[in-house]
Amino acid sequence: MKLILLGAPGAGKGTVAKLLTELDGSVQISTGDILRGAVAAGTKLGKQIESLMKSGDLVPDDLIMDIMAQRLQEPDCEQGFLLDGFPRTIPQAEALKSLLEKLGIELDMAVNLNLEREVILDRLTTRRTCSNADCQAIYNVKSNPPKQEGICDKCGCPVIQRDDETAEAISHRLETYNEKTAPLIGFYENEGLLLNVDAAGSSEAVLTAIGEKLGAR
Ligand code: ADP
Ligand code: ZN
């Protein structure tokens, strides 16, 4: 499948994407994971974007498009992909549209994970992430803690609170989402690709809604 996952930070894009990859071998492409990996590795790109990311600002569209134009042409994308955290602005959505046309790739749909602001805030402040850049497994201190406190179940590295998960950075990310990313819902509705899903329930309920819509096409 070839999907875009839309939704505010904390809506569950990453969790849903990881579950979907297990269904048919589609790959998860998380721009946030790619960028955090670059910061952790201290690459030239990483140094350029470190402070933007820490404060919860977006990375410039042209940097993101360079990364994604390359990433979408890698062979593992042929089986399908789940775009998690991209596109995030109208210019990125427009650039993605022309890129996919050029590559002859057709999207199945854009899934919007809907969630109330209060639930989002609660999820983000209790979220923890594996500090290993190659793992980045997601946990929640209330609903999904690692088996051993502070240690990743998958790789044994420390599980931490992300730099951009301070109260200040979180509220800035939500503002940025409302201003820059929420307009994508209308964009994909116009494209006839939008599926709205209630993200307050279980991840399984989200998967079922996506599966039904894919089956109906
Ligand atoms: P979340 O969905 O929880 O906000 P992500 O891991 O998707 O977290 O993104 C973390 C940060 O990475 C963003 O706040 C932003 O700085 C940067 N980022 C990720 N994807 C994009 C993108 N498509 N465009 C611009 N910046 C991005
Ligand atoms: Zn890990």
**Domain CATH for 95:** 3.40.50.300
pTM to 2 decimal places: 0.91
Q: Which tens digit of pLDDT belongs to each residue from 84-106?
A: 999 999 999 999 999 999 999 99
Average pLDDT, the chain: 94
167 assigned to some structural domain: no
Q: Which residues pair with 77 in a beta bridge?
A: none
139 assigned to some structural domain: no
Residue 163: predicted pLDDT: 87
Q: Which pLDDT band, with edges at 50, 70 and 90, does 201 fall under?
A: confident
Find out whether the beta carbon of 31 lies less than 6 Å from any atom of ligand 1: yes
32 assigned to some structural domain: yes
71 given a catalytic annotation:
no
31: domain range? 2-115+180-216
Number of domains in the chain: 1
Closest CA to 80 of 11, 7, 27, 159: 27
191 assigned to some structural domain: yes
Cα of 37 from ligand 2 centre, angstroms: 13
Residue 166: predicted pLDDT: 87
122 assigned to some structural domain: no
217 given a catalytic annotation:
no
127 given a catalytic annotation:
yes
Residue 202: predicted pLDDT: 85
User: Distance between CA 189 and CA 118 in Å, rounded?
Assistant: 25
Q: Which pLDDT band, with edges at 50, 70 and 90, does 203 fall under?
A: confident
pLDDT average, residue stretch 69-95: 97
Give the number of other CB atoms < 10 A from CB of residue 25: 11
101 assigned to some structural domain: yes
Cα of 131 from ligand 2 centre, angstroms: 7
